[in-house]
Amino acid sequence: MDVKLRKSDTLHVIGELAAGIAHEIRNPMTALKGFIQLLEDNIEEDYSMYFNIITSELQRIDSIINEFLILAKPQAVKFIERDITQIMEETVKFLSAQAVLHNVQFQTYYEKDLPPIYCEQNQMKKVFINLIKNAIEVMPKGGFVTITMNSASDERIHISIQDEGCGIPKDKINKLGQPFYTTKERGTGLGLMVTYKIVEEHAGTIEVESELGVGTNFHIYLPLRKKERK
C-alpha cells in the first residue's frame, strides 16, 4: 500500500522519535558526566586540555538533547493565562550576562498593560531565549537588540526581536526552522525549529524581516485566546 505522510505528520513522527531517543540518551549521559567529574580531580595537568574538550562536547550533546526533548509530549504542556511582559522581562534578565559578554545592549519597548497570553510559560521563555541568543550571536562586535511588545489588534499581541547583525540572504529564509540548518561553526541548527514549533502550538505565527548587512527582525504574533488547532 502506498501511504504518504503529509509534511506535518512526518514532522510529528520525527519529533516523537527524536524526543524518545533524546530521553534514552539522557540517562547514560548523566552517568558519563558524573564519572568525568570524578576523574577530573585526579588527572595530570597535561591532560586537562582533553578534559576541556570532553566537557564542551558533552555540553553540546546536552543542548541537542534538550532541544529535542522540548518536542516531546505536547499533552504534558499546560496552557495558562500569563503576563507576557513578565515572561520577557525574566528572559532578558536571564540573558543579561551573556549580552554584556558580547558587548550587546538591550533596548526594550513594552506597551503598558498588555493583556495576558494563554501560553505555556517555559516554552514561551524558550522561544524568547532562542531568538535573543541568535540576535546576540550575529553581532560579534556588539550592538543593540531591540525588543518590542505591543498589541497588534484586539486579538493578537506582536513581539519583535531585532538585531543589527549580518542579516539573512533571501534564498535562505525558507531554510530557517529546518532541523540542523546552521551557518555557525558550533551551531546545532535546532533552536529555530523548536521556536517555530512552539509558536505554532500556541496558534501563533512568525515573520522574518531581514536586510543583509543591516540586521534581522523576527516578528511573533500570538493570539490572546487559544484557538482550536486545525
Instruction: List residues binding Mg ion (CB under 5 A).
Output: 134, 191
Cell 555557525: give the residue.
184
Q: How many residues does the chain have?
A: 230
Site for ligand ADP contains 189 (CB under 6 A): yes
Residue 142, number of CB atoms within 10 A of its CB: 14
**Residues in binding contact with ligand ADP, number by CB under 6 A:** 20
Minimum gap (Å) between residue 160 Cβ and ligand ADP: 12
**In this complex, which beta carbon is closest to ligand ADP, that of residue 114 or of residue 134?**
134
**In this complex, which beta carbon is closest to Mg ion, that of residue 134 or of residue 216?**
134
Cα(220)–Cα(162) distance, rounded to whole angstroms? 11
Minimum gap (Å) between residue 179 Cβ and ligand ADP: 9
Q: Please choose which of ligand ADP, Mg ion, none residue 119 contacts, taking the beta carbon within 5 to 8 angstroms, the exact cut-off set by kind.
A: none
| From candidates 91, 123, 146, 216, binder to ligand ADP by CB under 6 A | 216
What b/e string do you get for 167-182 counting C-beta neighbours within 10 Å, with b at 16 or more?
bbeeeeeeebbebeee
Site string for ligand ADP, 157-186 (x = CB under 6 A): ------x-xx-x-------x----xxxx--
Cell 501563533: give the residue.
204
Cα(202)–Cα(224) distance, rounded to whole angstroms? 10
Cα(77)–Cα(175) distance, rounded to whole angstroms? 27
Cα(67)–Cα(206) distance, rounded to whole angstroms? 19
**In this complex, which beta carbon is closest to ligand ADP, that of residue 144 or of residue 181?**
181
Q: Give the footprint of ligand ADP on this chain (CB under 6 A).
A: 130, 134-135, 138, 163, 165-166, 168, 176, 181-184, 187-192, 216
